[in-house]
Amino acid sequence: KMDTEEKEMEYIKIKFKKFKISTKKMMEIPAAFIMYRNSNYEDEDSDSGKKRRKEMKMKGDLERNLKKEKEKKKGDQENEEKGRRDPMRSESKGRRESHSYKGEKRQSRGEKKTDLSSSVEKRREDRKRSKERRSRREKTRVEAFHEKNRGDRRRSEERRSRREKSMDLESISDDCDMHIDKTPFIHCPAEMEPAFNTNIIQDLARYAIDHDKDAPFSISSLFNGRKALGLKRVKKTDLSTVIDPLGAAFDRVMRVWIYTDTGNGEIVMASYEGHKHDRMKGFRLPSAIAVITPGSHFAVLDYNGITMVDALHNAKMMVADGFRGLYRGLGTTSDGNLVTIKYKFWPSVCVFNLHKQNTKICSIPYSNYPHNALPSFLCTRREMIYVSDLKRNTLSAFSYSKETKQLSNVTRRDLSNSMKRTSRLRTEYMSGVVADSSHSLLVADAQGGSVNHVSADGSFIQNMPFLKGGHPYISGLALSPTGRLMICCRRQHAVKLYDIVPLESDEDRLTRAINGFSLPSRK
């Protein structure tokens, strides 16, 4: 038998283990507490101890029964309320009550009965909290989505306002003057940083109307019906190698050639003698060039759209965008606007307003048979627009009226059979086209590597051979007022200069030979 103190210590250990108190913590209990417990401790075998334990057990059983009855009554009230809301629930409750003997059996075995009402309330609260969390997450997600949309709309509006502000040119005054310091050009990269001043530049349209004033050159003046014309290569030029040159133009005021370096995305400027002196970057696959204001402004067609460049102040601005490479060829109309060709998805000739961004003035279908057409190059002379077809080998002429702002189809001529150089060879892959002051045309034959002289109505006149220059694969052409021709050789990745010169006939050669021959003088 254990003595009283050992029993007390064992009792304290059991109690502390029940309340999950460590033995180390238990040993810190003062001895006074143990003495107090010893003084109130009664032996288990004594009658008073047994009686006291019995009374406490009865009291505890009574309290537990009262508590269970109270909880049962509360659960019955809640179930009745649910049954009134849902009859099927009350019916299921009746079925559950009929089988309540299982719960009584568990209770008889001493197992703890599950509190249904508290569990239902707990599940209801859990569902409510989960619903609140879900609603908060959904609200946060919706707010974030709307905030993102508002930010996107705000940024797009800011970009649109900046673009409109930068592209909206000042209204042209009655005297057709425009101040360059009021023109909102877009700043270019560091190598093209603009430097604006207050110089007054004449109206762009004035040059377009009088674009033949300083261009007296006419091919017909050299060709008098007897003499043939040829192309003589200009030597001692340092035009560097370019990748896939497609378009070229000549500025008669600055006396410079402007041509595209399509593969490198650049615009190259070279002197009249063929010495390169400037490059402009920042383009994507440029394909055509048109001079707007000789001496200052020219337009470039690339994959994205049409860009106007100020060569004096090294600035540029967008005239039209969103082309996505669907347009080819570029020229100026008689009222100073820009004309180009949409060559895919029902080809058409389109005129864009130079002074308002993305504003199409008019358009006309290129052909009634779009699946067989591939218009690629054009040139303009006064109100006439000439378009060459690379696939059908046709030359089309359109007329633009600056009074009515409308396009009209003038003529279409098939030149594939009329431009025969020999009985076995014919024109294929008609590419670049350029017109002189008398509306005579020079049309390039890319496959044959030649340039053909054509009249204004499309009649073939003659073929211009290359004098000691080979047969280049020609894409674009540009003509100067003095009769010098720039040819873009796409296959050779080069740009070459040629002079248009009359060829000697048999009579001229015979006369020169007779005049140059002299008998030796007698001594």
245 in a structural domain = yes
- Indicate whether 385 and 355 sit together in one domain: yes
pLDDT tens sequence across 272-285: 998 887 888 889 99
493 in a structural domain = yes
Residue 520 has pLDDT above 80, yes or no: no
pLDDT tens sequence across 201-217: 333 333 333 444 444 46
DSSP state of 504: P
* ∠ Cα 239 241 242 (to 5°): 105
Tokens found for residue 488: 């873009």
Structure confidence at residue 491 (pLDDT)? 84
Q: What is the mean pLDDT of residues 322-337?
A: 92
What pTM did the predictor assign?
A: 0.57
128 in a structural domain = no
Q: What is the mean pLDDT of residues 320-348?
A: 91
Question: Which position has the higher pLDDT, 384 or 99?
Answer: 384
Structure confidence at residue 192 (pLDDT)? 32
Confidence at 490, pLDDT banded by 50, 70, 90? confident
* Percentage of the chain modeled with pLDDT above 70: 64
Residue 180 has pLDDT above 60, yes or no: no
Q: H or E stretch including 15?
A: helix 4-18
- Indicate whether 143 and 227 sit together in one domain: no
Confidence at 67, pLDDT banded by 50, 70, 90? confident
- Indicate whether 152 and 292 sit together in one domain: no
**316: how many CB neighbours lie within 10 A of its CB?**
24
Residue 194 has pLDDT above 60, yes or no: no
- Indicate whether 288 and 426 sit together in one domain: yes
Question: Which position has the higher pLDDT, 501 or 86?
Answer: 501
- Indicate whether 153 and 258 sit together in one domain: no
51 in a structural domain = no
341 in a structural domain = yes
- Indicate whether 160 and 241 sit together in one domain: no
CA distance 38 to 224: 144
In 294-404, at which residue ranges do the beta strands (DSSP E only) sit?
Answer: 297-301, 305-310, 315-321, 327-332, 338-342, 348-352, 360-365, 375-381, 384-389, 394-401
CATH number for the domain including 418?
A: 2.120.10.30
373 in a structural domain = yes
142 in a structural domain = yes
Backbone φ and ψ for 115, nearest 5 degrees, come out as -85, 100
Mean pLDDT computed over every residue of the chain:
74
Confidence at 131, pLDDT banded by 50, 70, 90? confident
- Indicate whether 6 and 146 sit together in one domain: no
Structure confidence at residue 521 (pLDDT)? 43
pLDDT tens sequence across 258-277: 999 999 999 999 999 988 87
Residue 438 has pLDDT above 60, yes or no: yes
Residue 289 has pLDDT above 90, yes or no: yes
Q: What is the mean pLDDT of residues 342-351?
A: 90
Considering only 138-147, 365-374, 417-426, which range has the smallest mean pLDDT?
A: 417-426
Confidence at 434, pLDDT banded by 50, 70, 90? very high
Question: Which position has the higher pLDDT, 157 or 400?
Answer: 400
Structure confidence at residue 139 (pLDDT)? 80
Domain of residue 159, residue span: 138-164
CA atoms within 13 A on the CB side of 382: 9
Among 164, 198, 223, where does a domain finish?
A: 164
- Indicate whether 267 and 376 sit together in one domain: yes
Residue 426 has pLDDT above 70, yes or no: no
186 in a structural domain = yes
Q: What is the mean pLDDT of residues 425-450?
A: 82
Q: What is the mean pLDDT of residues 231-247?
A: 86
Question: Which position has the higher pLDDT, 319 or 372?
Answer: 319
Residue 169 has pLDDT above 60, yes or no: no
- Indicate whether 315 and 454 sit together in one domain: yes
- Indicate whether 274 and 183 sit together in one domain: yes
- Indicate whether 147 and 224 sit together in one domain: no
DSSP state of 521: P
- Indicate whether 303 and 196 sit together in one domain: yes
Q: What contacts 435, CB < 8 A, 6 or more positions away?
A: 379, 380, 381, 384, 386, 441, 442, 479
Q: What contacts 334, CB < 8 A, 6 or more positions away?
A: 208, 209, 382, 383, 400, 402
The sign of the dihedral angle between the CA atoms of 21, 26, 30, 32 is positive
Question: Which position has the higher pLDDT, 39 or 185?
Answer: 39
Residue 329 has pLDDT above 80, yes or no: yes
The count of domains in the chain is: 3
